[in-house]
């Protein structure tokens, strides 16, 4: 089995004097409570017993800049 990582980006404009540390724990709590896991149904996959993978939240990070590099198959 291979591990697939899903990256979602949430953004908000905040006052210049607000620090990431002031919102980080609040964001982490909110995301963990609302998006702890989700399941998808892959309709064109031949093995029906494994066609609905469950994605579970591993980590939440907050910052002002980020770069994500996504690979292929």
Residues in the chain: 73
For 38, the 3-state DSSP assignment is: strand
Spatial separation of the C-alpha atoms in residues 27 and 19, rounded to whole Å: 13
Per the listing, tokens 């998808």 go with 40
User: What pTM value is reported for the model?
Assistant: 0.73
The β-bridge partners of 54 are: 39
* Three-state helix/strand/coil letters over 21-37: HHHHHHHHHHHHHHCCE
Q: How confident is the model at residue 37 (pLDDT cuts 50, 70, 90)?
A: very high
62-73 confidence digits (pLDDT tens): 888 777 777 766
Spatial separation of the C-alpha atoms in residues 41 and 25, rounded to whole Å: 32
């Amino acid at each position: 089995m291979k591990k697939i990582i899903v990256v979602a980006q949430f953004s908000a404009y905040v006052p210049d004097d607000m620090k990431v540390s002031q919102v980080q724990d609040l964001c982490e709590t909110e995301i963990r409570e609302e998006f702890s896991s989700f399941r998808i149904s892959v309709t064109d996959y031949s093995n029906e017993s494994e066609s609905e993978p469950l994605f579970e939240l591993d980590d939440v990070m907050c910052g002002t800049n980020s770069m994500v590099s996504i690979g292929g198959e």
